[in-house]
Amino acid sequence: MSLKRKYRTKITIPKLQLPRANVQKASLPIPTSPSLQLLRQAMEKAAVEGNGNLDTQYFDCLGKGHSCWLAVRTEGFQRGVGLEVEQDGSVSFEFDDASLAQPSGSRDLIGQARFIFDETSVARALCREIAQHYAVLAIARSLQEGGCDIELTSIQEGCVQGGKSHRVIIRGRDKMGRVRQVSVGPKAEVEVDMIGFRGDDCVAAETKLRAQLQEFGLQLEVTAHHQKERDALAGFQPRVSEQTGGTV
């Protein structure tokens, strides 16, 4: 039995970058916009790393194809995952999880067997991988457009559903030696430390980076401000984080 599943990412494409509703199910290549082109690059990267390919449909356990904007099929998950972009710009991936479901031993109200899902789903791992690739590409482009030199580091963090997880650190150093250190987690959560900035300069740089990432549908959370000189913060009023309620 086919079991259609959906993985929802943290990415929301700005509406101005979306095509008209009547081309929502586009064939290759997907419509041109900065965000959608980066999504394609992220999916191409996942396909190459997984010895797979891009397609315009993913398949269920019965071999039936389901059309989508774009799909990635890899050696490890040949049915593939399909990209879906809703009318509000939210990005998700669809796939058939049937082979990874196990009977729970109980039945629902109409007598059919209930299933529990294998949390090691390779499909979910592939979706997370694409979302993380997208965030890294968007951040690197934003920092480079701001005149920063880029350095990338990948840090192994352990395991999440579907396999091993890692965090990618992108360090963007400007001509004044100041660093925007951005961390992208295994679920594409984005945090940044501003290193070497002073007072208003820190706020301005943070605001600019936040606006750049919003153009790619990403939300930025500032986790710390590191100063070369502590007294540079004298008179600087901490602001309340919209996401955490804490000060930044």
Is the separation of the CB atoms in 225 and 248 below 8 Å?
yes
Residues 6+ apart with CB under 8 A from 115: 3, 101, 102, 103, 104
Q: Give pLDDT tens digits for 79-106.
A: 999 999 888 899 999 998 775 544 455 4
Token code pair at residue 30: 């997907």
> Considering 78, 95, 129, which residue would you say is the last residue of a domain?
129
> In the sheet where 179-184 sits, what is the strand order?
149-160, 163-173, 179-184, 190-195, 220-226
26 lies in the same domain as 82: yes
Same domain flag for 121 and 179? no
pTM of the full predicted structure? Answer: 0.78
Q: How much is the average pLDDT of 172-195? A: 92
Residue of higher predicted confidence among 138 and 102: 138
Is 50 exceeded by the pLDDT of residue 34?
Answer: yes
Q: How far does the chain reach from its first CA to its final CA, in angstroms?
A: 50
Q: Are residues 42 and 123 in the same domain?
A: yes
Q: In 3D, which of 203, 205, 155 has the Cα closest to residue 180? A: 205
Do 204 and 124 belong together in one domain?
Answer: no
pLDDT band at 192 (very low <50, low <70, confident <90, very high): very high
Q: Do residues 210 and 220 lie in contact, with contact meaning Cβ atoms separated by under 8 Å?
A: yes
Question: Which amino acid, one-letter code, is at 96?
Answer: D
Tokens representing 127 are: 């979706």
pLDDT tens per residue, range 110-119? 555 544 444 3
Query: Each residue of 221-238: pLDDT tens digit?
Result: 877 655 544 444 444 444
pLDDT (0 to 100) of residue 164: 64
Confidence at residue 69, expressed as pLDDT on a 0 to 100 scale:
86
Burial class (CB in 10 A: 0-12, 13-18, 19+), 205: middle
pLDDT of residue 183: 94
Q: Name the more confident of 205 and 105.
A: 205
Q: Are residues 157 and 194 in the same domain?
A: yes
pLDDT of residue 129: 94
* 240 part of a folded domain: no
123 plus 16 within the same structural domain:
yes
Q: What per-residue confidence (pLDDT) applies to 24?
A: 46
Q: Can you give the residue range of the structural domain that contains 40?
A: 4-104+116-129
Of the listed ranges 34-38, 106-110, 121-125, 231-235, the one predicted with least confidence: 231-235
CB-based contact 97:59 (threshold 8 Å): no
Overall domain count for the chain: 2
Average confidence (pLDDT) over 207-225: 87
28 and 121 assigned to the same domain: yes
More confident: 26 or 96: 96
58 and 152 both lie in a single domain? no
Contacts of 140 (CB under 8 A, 6+ apart): 150, 152, 170
- Whole-angstrom Cα distance, residue 19 to residue 34? 12
The pLDDT, as a whole number, for residue 165 is 76
- Based on the domain organization, do 172 and 207 belong to the same domain? yes
Using CA atoms, how far residue 84 sits from 39, 64, 131, 218, in Å, is 11, 18, 13, 17
8 Å CB contact between 31 and 23: yes
Residues 120 and 152 in one domain: no
